[in-house]
Structure 1
Amino acid sequence: MEDNNLDNLRHSCAHLLAAAVMELWPKTLRTIGPSIENGFYYDFDFEEVKISEEDFPKIEDKMHEILNSWEGFVGREVLKEEALNAYSDNDYKKELIEEFADDGQKLTFYKSGNYEDLCRGGHVENPKEALKNFKLLSVAGAYWRGSEKNKMLTRIYGTVFPSQEELDEYLKNQDEAKKRDHRKLGRELNLYLLTDEVGPGLLLLKPKGSIIRREIENLIITEQTKRGYQHVYTPHIGRKKLWETSGHWDLYRDKMYAPMKIDDEQYLVKPMNCPFHMMIYKSQPRSYRELPLRIAEIATVYRYEKPGELSGMLRVRHITQDDAHIFCRESQVVDEFIGVFDYMSFLLKVFGLNNFYLRLGLRSPKEKYLGNDEVWKRAEDEIVKAIEKKGLKYTKSEGDAAFYGPKLDVIIKDAIGREWQCGTIQVDFMLADRFGLEYINEEGKTERPVLIHRAPLGSTERFMGILIEHFAGNFPTWLNPVQVKILPISEKHLEYARSVMEKLKNENIRVEIDERSETLGAKIRDAQMEKVSYMAIVGDKEIENQSISVRARAGKDLGSQKIEDFTSNIKVEIGEKKLPQE
């Protein structure tokens, strides 16, 4: 089904949900019910009534009952006064009506059966048949208009598909997604902590989670060094004037934290690394022979996310980026852009994320940006040239540009087909001019460099959350916090188990030993729950043969192995960064 038809289907089902709610709880105040990716939602003010998922069967039964009388949607245009009168007791709808009228938009009501709602339109022709395959999914709190200053509403999510088979497949994937939820697995695997005592969206990585991050960063630094990047360190705060110069203070302020006063001057915690890297470039005279200059930093920046937007590791208020700025000549932009894309593709392949598509983010006439049309067109043209030179396909998305330039986003698909926005590459003709950056060309004249901003994995925190769900916690051995768990059968085997652990540690293999007085079966089950890569069982026979009995995490018996042979094999697996086979 085409996207427009899917949107119409989902939006129509939002009407059906609202109709059922209004019959069951007539005093409820309705707000909005848009279609979203994979479904729809409707926000309600139930006032004193508390709605939970336990109410879903009752609501769904009412939806099916109502649907029998829905033959189609009939729209009519109304005057502002009539619309306001229809919703005289609903301040939410009145706010929308006033807003639409002030913008000069037509006010329309759409009716099916006995239910009518303020709506712009976009519905199915035969709701009685088209809307049969629906399911309510979850309930959550949501602030009116997304602002925590407004009242918290009740948001009911649902989905609908053209066929029962498609709905069943979607629900099956949803069940799998729940099993893979990084918040659940992060807690079970002891990877990270979020606590109100520290603050919402402020992530504490525990030792095991820190190992994963360190391995990712080690890979990044190694690969960047091969590709000619120079690494720097910059502070977490800087003078406010830096971000006024860059344009962030004017155009990105809603994502920035309030200034702090230090020595009678205003300072900001950094939302971006850009200004600091500009200053490093500017700190000495530059020649065309130095370009392209690739300055990289794995750095934490701080951005304000609204409370309702925070979600585990996926949306936090501090993000660590594999950030870099490439200073180059305009004639070098295409090749540098391709080089960044190739590096990004390499990283994603290492993690088994080969399935992705590209989205070109362009300006929206409704938003504020730096620069003029001519400069923006030059930047867009350079990106398109690079994409076409690589022979890649892409989609366009108006309004997704950075405020200083267009960007190419990489949208990856994980093991169960879900899409995640990951890395980004941006071309910028603006900041070099704003910071007065120059280089001397072959003729001894000054020119402005062009900037490429790039963050191939997005943020480390978000990427780790994606990896947890992609692998369902079954990390590749090179990435796994515990690569080997030694399981002594009884207490008398502890001494040998400890000697095995020391040998593996000396080979830089991450290893733990289970010294509890539990049965071997219990130790195996617990090790599998911890998703360690390998279990090394030791008992009388292993001591006699100076060996270990090896099991893979899924339980497959790999037999008795000499410690040296096992060590050699696992080191190859780690060194080649092999993906899990289970």
Structure 2
Amino acid sequence: MSTLKIMLPDNSCRELQAGATVYDLAASIGAGLAKAAMAGKVNGQLVDLSSQLMDGDCVEIITEKSAEALEIIRHSTSHLMAQAVKELFPQAKVTIGPAIETGFYYDFDVEKPFTPEDLERIEIKMTELAAADQKIVRKEMSSADAVSMFEKMAEPYKTELINDLGVEQVSVYSQGNFADLCRGPHLPSTSRIKAFKLLSIAGAYWRGDEKNRMLQRIYGTAFVDKKELEAYLHRLDEAKRRDHRKLGRELDLFSFSDEVGAGFPIWHPKGAMLRTVLEDFERKEHLKRDYDIVVGPQILKSELWQRSGHYDNYSENMYFTEVDEQSYGIKPMNCLSHMMIYKSQLRSYRDLPLRYFELGTVHRHERAGVLHGLMRVRCFTQDDAHILCTPEQLDAEIKNVISFVNDVMGIFGFEYEMELSTRPEKSIGSDEDWDQATNALLAALKDTGRPFEVNEGDGAFYGPKIDIKLRDCLDRRWQCATIQCDFTLPERFDLTYVASDGERRRPVMVHRVILGSIERFIGVLIEHYAGSFPLWISPVQAVILTVTDNQIPFAKEVYRNLKSAGVRVQSDFRNEKLSFKIREAQLQKTPYMLVIGDKEVEQGTVTPRYRDGKNLQPMKPGEFVDFVSIECREFK
């Protein structure tokens, strides 16, 4: 019998009999590896342990320590859940059930919505099925045979998927009496699924189309072991406690109204003050870095959006209106106004780079199903800037923006990660321009010395971009800053400058945001700080609390002095117990409570009490103003 030569990750070679599988390879290396193996990676492709090897294959054995392990475990757990649902609810129709970043989900077509009690029953059944050690078997079959099989099983969604694939062969995985259409790979047995939890139920339209039937989606998660699962569930509980939607209501920052419309936040006084502080900070930081502040209109003629390419590539996310029988688009981005400013006069190379900054409010039509508090809205403000420069200046400008991001993230205490997103299928511009733009971003990323990932095909339709994702206290990633390099729009709008040789040349445009959506960033801040904002951005920095009515005249004078000095202060002069007023201020997460009793009136002081209960020494109101000023200057 012929033998196979198999290459391992350490470049060593192993010989196996023809017909050997990934599992056979693991067993040949050692019994421990065979026991730990859950899948394989053959020539960079994830496969099942049962996959046969070919001569010359490069193979890596996937174990629970591998980066790919969780995805395989979670995908197999989604199948286990679907099997449990089918056993408990035989009339349920299965649709799709992928692994996702935080776990998995599966969508079911059922007559009645699932209940929390149903989740408990499903989870118990999953535990039984996992303990039964059912083998998970992959079978290749013709699409015609697969359609016939799923028709007999009365699974119309599976037959629809197969027909839409338009391929001759598909793979089907089975365990016990359950079978599912799937590419895989999967674990070799249900007994390898050891730590899982069903989390929630939601509605979801088939294929995300609101015209289709509403399905029931069950979310869950799975981990290698119960210790990791418990740690995740603890983080999940903490995330619920920090949920910005919950805290936004409790702290009276913002609200949403069905009468106004989904995805349109309404900012209350405290929330509006928080926004104002952030926006003032942004303006100062941009002015320090030689940006010019500009303001553009909310609506622009549709002709402009057609010329820019937005109409063909982004119109499904835009709102349109008609004025004087002329079509207008409500801006989803700020770039066109900024190009009009550039184009308003002749530019010289000596003028460049020009950096236009706008806190611009934009509107984007997001599907109702993806809206999520402040994190995903239809109306939001971006700290948007567009840099117009010569090709020779491009590298320095990109590095300056990355440095800007680094400074700002440091002020808020965020770590961050960077990704290079390359050309998507739907795009405009020449290959040469895309290559030049991508190489410029790549060079700037390499020069930072920081690790980064390449996200193929996820760039904007007009250019590649650097996406910067911050990490919050729960180690979650949030998309905020973006740097996009664009050779295309300057071409479409005929932007030029006079070069040193007197020739007209084309500038390069860099689109960039630092915080990104102000709404999303505030949502992230609320959850990161659990509503206990640092003093410098807190919408209310101090609240004055009187012990009795006798102190009100002096307290009012203190209030006026602090207010005029720029301290964001409130007062609570109600005839309530001091302990009650302190408790309320703590629930509102106000940084400082300024207690005024008879002693303070007599000495002309206030006694600051921090929200964690620690008292500072009594001080004059002016001293407290100085204290706040120093803390704010140091971004504390």
Shorter-normalised TM range? over 0.9
2:513 aligns with one of 455, 458, 461: 455
* 1:281 corresponds to: 342
Are 1:65 and 2:128 an aligned pair? yes
CA distance in 2: counterparts of 1:508 and 1:2, whole angstroms? 55
Are 1:506 and 2:564 an aligned pair? yes
Are 1:389 and 2:451 an aligned pair? no
1:294-373 aligned within 5 A: 294-353=355-414, 355-364=415-424, 367-373=425-431
CA distance in 1: counterparts of 2:208 and 2:606, whole angstroms? 57
Map Cα deviations across residues 167-207 of structure 1 (whole Å, 9 max, x no partner). 11111111110010000000000001111100000111111
CA distance in 1: counterparts of 2:537 and 2:398, whole angstroms? 29
1:481-560 aligned within 5 A: 481-560=539-618
Contact 1:180/1:473, CA 8 A, preserved across alignment? yes
Paired residue type of 2:146 = A
Residue 453 of structure 1: how far off its partner (Å): 0.4
1:25 aligns with one of 79, 84, 89: 89
CA distance in 2: counterparts of 1:72 and 1:290, whole angstroms? 70
Map Cα deviations across residues 72-101 of structure 1 (whole Å, 9 max, x no partner). 32111222233223333333222211111x
* 2:13 corresponds to: none
Contact 1:43/1:153, CA 8 A, preserved across alignment? yes
Change (3 A) 1:105 1:244: farther
Worse overlay, 80-89 or 18-27: 80-89
Q: Secondary structure at the match of 1:295?
A: strand
Are 1:2 and 2:59 an aligned pair? no
Q: Secondary structure at the match of 2:606?
A: strand
Are 1:230 and 2:292 an aligned pair? yes
Are 1:174 and 2:239 an aligned pair? no
Are 1:218 and 2:280 an aligned pair? yes
CA distance in 1: counterparts of 2:287 and 2:169, whole angstroms? 58
Normalising by structure 1, we get a TM-score of: 0.96
* 2:160 corresponds to: 95
Change (3 A) 1:500 1:227: same
Change (3 A) 1:105 1:457: farther
* 2:198 corresponds to: 136
Contact 2:142/2:168, CA 8 A, preserved across alignment? no
Q: Secondary structure at the match of 1:547?
A: coil
Structure number with greater Rg is 2
Q: Secondary structure at the match of 1:392?
A: coil
Residue 308 of structure 1: how far off its partner (Å): 0.4
Map Cα deviations across residues 286-328 of structure 1 (whole Å, 9 max, x no partner). 1000011111111111101000000000000012111111000
Are 1:566 and 2:629 an aligned pair? no
Paired residue type of 1:245 = R
- The answer for unaligned runs of 5 or more in structure 2 is 1-64
Paired residue type of 2:398 = F
* 2:79 corresponds to: 15
CA distance in 1: counterparts of 2:549 and 2:184, whole angstroms? 72
* 1:208 corresponds to: 270
2:250 aligns with one of 184, 188, 194: 188
CA distance in 1: counterparts of 2:540 and 2:321, whole angstroms? 42
Q: Secondary structure at the match of 1:512?
A: strand
Contact 1:73/1:125, CA 8 A, preserved across alignment? yes
* 1:420 corresponds to: 478
CA distance in 2: counterparts of 1:457 and 1:91, whole angstroms? 45
* 1:408 corresponds to: 466
Q: Secondary structure at the match of 1:165?
A: helix
How many residues align? The count is 570
1:157 aligns with one of 213, 216, 219: 219
Residue 105 of structure 1: how far off its partner (Å): 6.2
Percentage of matched positions with identical amino acids:
46
Contact 1:323/1:455, CA 8 A, preserved across alignment? yes
CA distance in 2: counterparts of 1:169 and 1:80, whole angstroms? 42
CA distance in 2: counterparts of 1:463 and 1:226, whole angstroms? 22
Paired residue type of 1:421 = Q
Contact 1:327/1:450, CA 8 A, preserved across alignment? yes
Contact 1:136/1:156, CA 8 A, preserved across alignment? yes
1:36-115 aligned within 5 A: 36-47=100-111, 49-88=112-151, 89-100=154-165, 102=166, 104=167, 106-115=169-178
Paired residue type of 1:548 = V
Q: Secondary structure at the match of 2:516?
A: coil
Give runs of ≥4 in structure 1 deviating > 4 Å: none
Contact 1:362/1:398, CA 8 A, preserved across alignment? yes
CA distance in 1: counterparts of 2:115 and 2:515, whole angstroms? 37
Residue 65 of structure 1: how far off its partner (Å): 0.6
Residue 59 of structure 1: how far off its partner (Å): 1.2
CA distance in 1: counterparts of 2:248 and 2:312, whole angstroms? 37
Worse overlay, 51-60 or 217-226: 51-60
Q: Secondary structure at the match of 1:458?
A: strand
Contact 2:132/2:190, CA 8 A, preserved across alignment? no
Q: Secondary structure at the match of 2:626?
A: helix
Contact 1:5/1:124, CA 8 A, preserved across alignment? no
Paired residue type of 1:327 = L
Contact 1:69/1:113, CA 8 A, preserved across alignment? no
* 2:40 corresponds to: none
Residue 562 of structure 1: how far off its partner (Å): 2.7
CA distance in 2: counterparts of 1:306 and 1:70, whole angstroms? 42
Contact 1:300/1:319, CA 8 A, preserved across alignment? yes
Paired residue type of 1:111 = S
Map Cα deviations across residues 109-148 of structure 1 (whole Å, 9 max, x no partner). 10123321111111123430x3110011111111111121
CA distance in 2: counterparts of 1:494 and 1:56, whole angstroms? 56
Contact 2:365/2:378, CA 8 A, preserved across alignment? yes
CA distance in 1: counterparts of 2:563 and 2:168, whole angstroms? 69
Paired residue type of 1:358 = M
Contact 1:70/1:113, CA 8 A, preserved across alignment? no
Q: Secondary structure at the match of 1:3?
A: coil
Paired residue type of 2:203 = G
Residue 575 of structure 1: how far off its partner (Å): 2.2
Residue 465 of structure 1: how far off its partner (Å): 0.4
CA distance in 1: counterparts of 2:179 and 2:70, whole angstroms? 21
CA distance in 2: counterparts of 1:68 and 1:268, whole angstroms? 58
Residue 237 of structure 1: how far off its partner (Å): 0.4
Contact 1:326/1:451, CA 8 A, preserved across alignment? yes
Residue 151 of structure 1: how far off its partner (Å): 1.6
Change (3 A) 1:123 1:149: same
Contact 1:501/1:512, CA 8 A, preserved across alignment? yes
Are 1:246 and 2:304 an aligned pair? no
Contact 2:300/2:328, CA 8 A, preserved across alignment? yes
Normalising by structure 2, we get a TM-score of: 0.88
